[in-house]
């Protein structure tokens, strides 16, 4: 099964996550099919907190990919922000 989930990058006490499309049987930092965005939970002032390629996420969900709970929340927030 194909999953859209977060994979952690960044250093100690400085988390940074890539939003990736991957096979759910692969390990978290393993081979990815496509990177569709990033999430920076500790973004400061001008730094961008979330960037997602919604068109590619829609494509992958249309082909049967499942989103993790956290990615689903991020996508909902980005769509809400774009609508406002």
Q: What is the mean pLDDT of each run of 10 residues along the chain (84 residues)?
A: 92 93 83 93 89 95 95 95 86
Supply the pLDDT for residue 72. 96
Q: Report the CATH number at residue 59.
A: 3.30.1320.10
User: How much is the pTM?
Assistant: 0.89
Owning domain of residue 34: 2-83
Here the tokens at position 38 are 């990033």
For the chain, the domain total comes to 1
3-class state of residue 50 by DSSP: strand
Supply the pLDDT for residue 63. 94
Q: Which helix (H) or strand (E) holds 67?
A: strand 66-67
Looking at residue 25, the DSSP 8-state letter turns out to be T
Instruction: Give the distance, in angstroms, between the CA of residue 20 and the centroid of all CA atoms in the same chain.
Output: 6
């Amino acid at each position: 099964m194909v999953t859209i989930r977060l994979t952690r990058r960044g250093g100690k006490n400085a988390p940074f996550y890539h939003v990736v499309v991957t096979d759910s049987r692969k390990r978290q930092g393993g081979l990815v099919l496509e990177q569709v965005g990033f999430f920076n939970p500790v973004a400061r002032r001008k730094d961008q907190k979330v960037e997602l390629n919604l068109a590619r996420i829609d494509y992958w969900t249309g082909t049967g990919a499942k989103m993790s709970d956290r990615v689903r929340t991020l996508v909902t927030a980005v769509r809400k922000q774009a609508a406002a």
